[in-house]
Every structure is written in structure tokens, then in C-alpha cells.
Chains A and B, each alone.
Chain A
């Protein structure tokens, strides 16, 4: 399975594209949406309720519920594959925020449940259990909300790292889709029992636009755009070439590909309509710059999907989502570049090497492989070395045991392998832990953090 995106929180080493104002917008936008919600709560009498204990607990319970709902929508939006967000931040960082905001929203939701139950029970002089039962059984939309909450609990619990590691990615991802169900099912109780919804027309307007906008963006970006691009470009398998043991290049053809906004270094989520298992999407990077009617991806065949890919027949149609990823020429800030790849991670860098402009001697590729036969694209890399002056260096050998990014027995610093690397842009692609080791080595060699470009991939 090549280049799988891990939805994990991590500090990405890369900065945004220079001189873009986008990254500065998101934080204030998030903060102001929370501020709007708090203001609406306060102007709806939220502070008024703080006078007595029971009413105060209820009032704070409402506030936690409202902020939780607001954050819930925000974190859905962050992972909605909105092209402008993807380009500005990259999926790995968005996934990190999605995770943090999601857990915050979940915590507030739990607080909301407890506070509302306690507040109502105090006011009405009922026991907590009795009150909880009354709420679920008799209040409008509350059974739906309870089921929605269960869905959100399922999603959150399976995303706690220990649980996440025990699940196959596909199972986890399917379970994660229950979040949409959860968000949808908790909506009615907000509309029907929420004092803040019922009271002010402005509040109603805000929440309806927030929910409507969010649903619209998700439908457009996660279903509409992929469906439109799939139908418009009609990408299908042209032929499959074995590159190395277990590694295959899939050559694809399609229509009007020059109008598909994809660049070297990016990936699509691929579904090949070749029989059972088609419903699972696989993230594969382009391994050559996109042509007007041609694309190429290169895939390491392990896992069910990988094996199926090896046997693809010409003419098999592909459903695409994307392009995603920001490991592109846009990120370049320096004249000289160093690419550091491991295994099948060479694919996006190989494509980038062809697309990027540079003079002879300005580009270097360090290519880490376990054994000689595993080296991919040797002819193409030799060709790039001859025609473009790329300096290619193969780092072949067994994995080091000390967590080094170099083969066992090597101990060179990065600036010994690539003199002057501190002035370079460094693009890295490979397994996750390995990329972290490379990023450390690059920082030790004096490369500025905003010149280290990697996206969070894992095999």
C-alpha cells in the first residue's frame, strides 16, 4: 500500500506557501465563530441564568452544548477536502487540527450532557437517573440525540490512539463515517428544545447557515467534485508494467487531463472498478508529471488492494478523489533542491524532479532502498541525471537498528552527503518514522524548518 495518509496529530515541519494570506485567516475565523456562539448565548439570557445554582448549571450546560456543536461543524469542515484549505495547510496538518478540535468538541459534549441533566434535576427536584430518563424519553428529538451521541462516542473511542492502532484503516474509516450520522441526529434536539435556537431569529439564522453551509461543503467537496472529475475525465487503465519485485506502474489514459488541476508530487484516492473490493479507496501518488492524456501511478503490491492493482486489465475505469497533497513545486523557496526518498516513496519525488526547473548540479536525489532490485525507475533516474544534471545517490542496504534514516553501518551527516544542503529546499517522502529521522538530520545539518517539505505518509 503506497503512500497512505495517516490521520494523526503531528506537527508538520512545513510552512505555508510564501506570501499567502490564507493561513492567517483560519485561526481568527474559528475564534470568532466560537465568540459569536458565546455572544448569542449571553444575549439570550445565558448570564441571567447564572444567578441561582440550578439555573446556572443549566445555563453553562447550554453554553457547552452550543460551543461543542460549533466545534463539531468546524472539524467536519476541516476534513471536507476543501481545495483551498488543502492547498493552504496540507492534509496532515488539517487532520491534526481535526483531531484536536474533535476531541475538544467531544469533551464539551460530555460536559453538556452532565450539566444539563444535573441542572434540570436540581430545578425540578428529580433524581439524576429519573431526569436523564425523562430527557431521553419525553423531550423533543432527544432519543435521536441519544443515538447520535452514541455514534459520536463510537467515532471518538475508535480514534483514541490505542484503539485506532488495533483497527484496520478501512474499518476505522467506515466507523468514522458514523460521525456524519451523529452530527445529523443531534441536530433536531437543538432546533426543537434548544432555548437559544427558539428564542432569537439571528441565532436560528446562524445555526441554520452553519449546518446548511457545512452540509453543502461536504456534499460538494467529498461527493460532487470527485463525481464530476471522474465523469469528466474518464480515467481508465491503459497498461500495467512491473517495475521491481511487487511494484507495478499503472499507466492511465483519460480525457482533458490538462484541465485536471493536478501537479507532480500530488496523489489521488483511487478506486478501480475491477470487481470486489472496488469500494475501498487507495491513495497513490503520480510517479510522473501529468500529461495531456496520460497519468502514471506506481504501487507497491502488498495488502489486498495492492495485489488487485497488479492484475488490472486495460480499460478498467477508475473513480478518483483528488488531487490532494501539497508536496509540489509551489513549495519551493530556494534555487537548489535535495530530494530524499525511501522505497516506493520515490514516486512523487521522481515526478517532481521532472517538473521542477533547475540547472545542472542544482538538484540532488538521495534514494534509500533495502536491496538493489528494489530500486525503482533506475533508467529514468539515469536519464534525468544525463539530461538534467540531477545528482542521484543510491543509499542501499539493510535498515539501521538505531532509527537512523541511513542504511545500517552508515554514519554520514546529511551535509556530508549533500554539501551545502542548508541552502536547499529538502523534499522528503517515505515511511512516517523514517521521514521524521530525515527531518531531524536535515535540521541538524542547518536546514531551516520551513524548507523541509514532507507530508505525513505511512506504508
Chain B
């Protein structure tokens, strides 16, 4: 009887202890802005991305697709959010006259995919800047993220009526 009491107390203590750990009560990782990915956006062109940390659990409200700002030759356009099974991917493109100067990620899936995103996004961005288009090769291991990135980017470019200049 005494041993049972000890076991019970030990078990209860163990459970309480385990539940004090941060991952034990953090809840699901919702799609969060890809803070882990390198970004070059400044505050004025990135209104939908309020400083998420890696532990952010609340998704920012999805920025609506379409033109964000146009000042002189510089155009900033949001693509639509495109779903993967882990959550949506949405990009923002910055066009200076006839050149794509930046692609940033407004939101990307969390969970396991957050790390995939961190892995894939810089390579996707580099390809987009090099090709000056949404013709991007899929990053292996991040097929869905790549494809959604491509779709969102293409839609943003269409909105901007951006054509590849040969």
C-alpha cells in the first residue's frame, strides 16, 4: 500500500513536471510568418508581418493579395495564399521598374515545415531573382512548399502585369 502511494505520488509529480515544459502546453503550431527565412522587407512594404518570433503561435491575419504600394517605379504586390497540407504559403514581390528585386514570404507552414521553409525559401528566392520569373525548380524535400511558392509568386507577377524582359 505504501509503495503504491509512493508510485502514485511519483507519477503525479512527473506529470506535473513534464507539463511545465514549454512544448507541453504550447498548442498546435499554426501557419506562422516565416521568420526563420531571411527577408529583406522593410516595415513600409510589409504591413502584414508583425515581428513574429520562432515561438509565435498566433498566425498573423493573412495579408490580402493584390497591389500593396506603388511609389514611382517601385511596385510591391502580394500573391495569394496557396495551401499545402501543412498550411498556406504566401509571397510578396517587389518590382523596381522592370526588375524583380525581392521576394519575401508573408506566411509559410509551421511545425516540421517551418524548418523545411527555412531550408527552401532562400533557394527559391535566389532562383526567382536569377530567372526574373516564377520559373523555379522544386527544392527537393520541400515539393509542396516550392510549388505553392511558385504559384503565389506567379499570381503576384500576373497582378503586376510583369513580363520577363528578354
Number of interface residues of A (CB under 8 A): 35
Which listed residue, B19, B28, B141, touches A193 by the CB 8 Å rule?
B28
Is B85 at the interface (CB under 8 A from chain A)? yes
Is A277 at the interface (CB under 8 A from chain B)? yes
- Residues from 6 to 26 in B contacting A, C-beta threshold 8 Å: 7, 11, 14-15, 18-19, 21, 23-24, 26
Is A181 at the interface (CB under 8 A from chain B)? yes
Is B69 at the interface (CB under 8 A from chain A)? no
Residues of A contacting B85 in the complex (Cβ-Cβ under 8 angstroms): 44-45, 195, 199
Q: Are B115 and A124 in contact (CB under 8 A)?
A: yes
Residues of A contacting B111 in the complex (Cβ-Cβ under 8 angstroms): 139-140, 193, 195, 198
Give A107-141 as 1s and 0s: 1 = Cβ < 8 Å from B's Cβ atoms: 00000000000001011100000000000011111
- How many angstroms between the C-alpha atoms of A279 and B1 in the bound complex? 9
- How many angstroms between the C-alpha atoms of A122 and B142 in the bound complex? 12
- Residues from 22 to 64 in A contacting B, C-beta threshold 8 Å: 44-45, 48, 51-52, 54-55, 58
Q: Are B24 and A188 in contact (CB under 8 A)?
A: yes
Q: Are A277 and B143 in contact (CB under 8 A)?
A: no
**Chain A nearest CB, measured from B32 CB (Å):** 12
**The stretch of A89-97, A142-150, A158-166, A241-249 that contacts the partner chain:** A142-150
Number of interface residues of B (CB under 8 A): 28
- How many angstroms between the C-alpha atoms of A181 and B11 in the bound complex? 10
Q: Are B24 and A141 in contact (CB under 8 A)?
A: yes
Which one of A191, A195, A279 has the highest number of Cβ atoms from chain B below 10 Å of its Cβ? A195
- How many angstroms between the C-alpha atoms of A54 and B15 in the bound complex? 34
Is A413 at the interface (CB under 8 A from chain B)? no
Is A201 at the interface (CB under 8 A from chain B)? no
**Chain B nearest CB, measured from A441 CB (Å):** 43
Residues of A contacting B116 in the complex (Cβ-Cβ under 8 angstroms): 123-124
Is A311 at the interface (CB under 8 A from chain B)? no
Chain A interface secondary structure, helix, strand, loop or mixed? Answer: helix
Which listed residue, A44, A140, A195, touches B27 by the CB 8 Å rule?
A140
Is B87 at the interface (CB under 8 A from chain A)? yes
- Residues from 60 to 112 in A contacting B, C-beta threshold 8 Å: none
**Chain B nearest CB, measured from A205 CB (Å):** 16
Q: Are A193 and B11 in contact (CB under 8 A)?
A: no
From known contacts A139-B111, A140-B29, A141-B24, infer whether A55 and B18 are also in contact, taking CB-CB under 8 Å.
no
Q: Are B28 and A140 in contact (CB under 8 A)?
A: yes
**Chain B nearest CB, measured from A307 CB (Å):** 16
Is A174 at the interface (CB under 8 A from chain B)? yes
Is A276 at the interface (CB under 8 A from chain B)? yes
Q: Are A138 and B119 in contact (CB under 8 A)?
A: no
A147 closest partner in B (C-beta)? B18
- How many angstroms between the C-alpha atoms of A351 and B8 in the bound complex? 40
Residues of A contacting B142 in the complex (Cβ-Cβ under 8 angstroms): 123
Which listed residue, A45, A143, A192, A279, touches B21 by the CB 8 Å rule?
A143
Residues of A contacting B29 in the complex (Cβ-Cβ under 8 angstroms): 140, 192-193
Which listed residue, A58, A124, A139, A147, touches B119 by the CB 8 Å rule?
A124
Residues of A contacting B28 in the complex (Cβ-Cβ under 8 angstroms): 140, 191-193, 198
- How many angstroms between the C-alpha atoms of A144 and B28 in the bound complex? 14
B29 closest partner in A (C-beta)? A140
Q: Are A54 and B23 in contact (CB under 8 A)?
A: no
**Chain B nearest CB, measured from A56 CB (Å):** 11
- Residues from 81 to 117 in B contacting A, C-beta threshold 8 Å: 85-87, 111-112, 115-116
Give me the interface of B with A, judged by CB distance under 8 Å: 1, 4, 7, 11, 14-15, 18-19, 21, 23-24, 26-29, 85-87, 111-112, 115-116, 119, 140-144
Q: What are the 6 closest A-B residue pairs judged by CB atoms, nearest first?
A: A192-B28, A123-B141, A45-B85, A199-B85, A143-B21, A140-B26
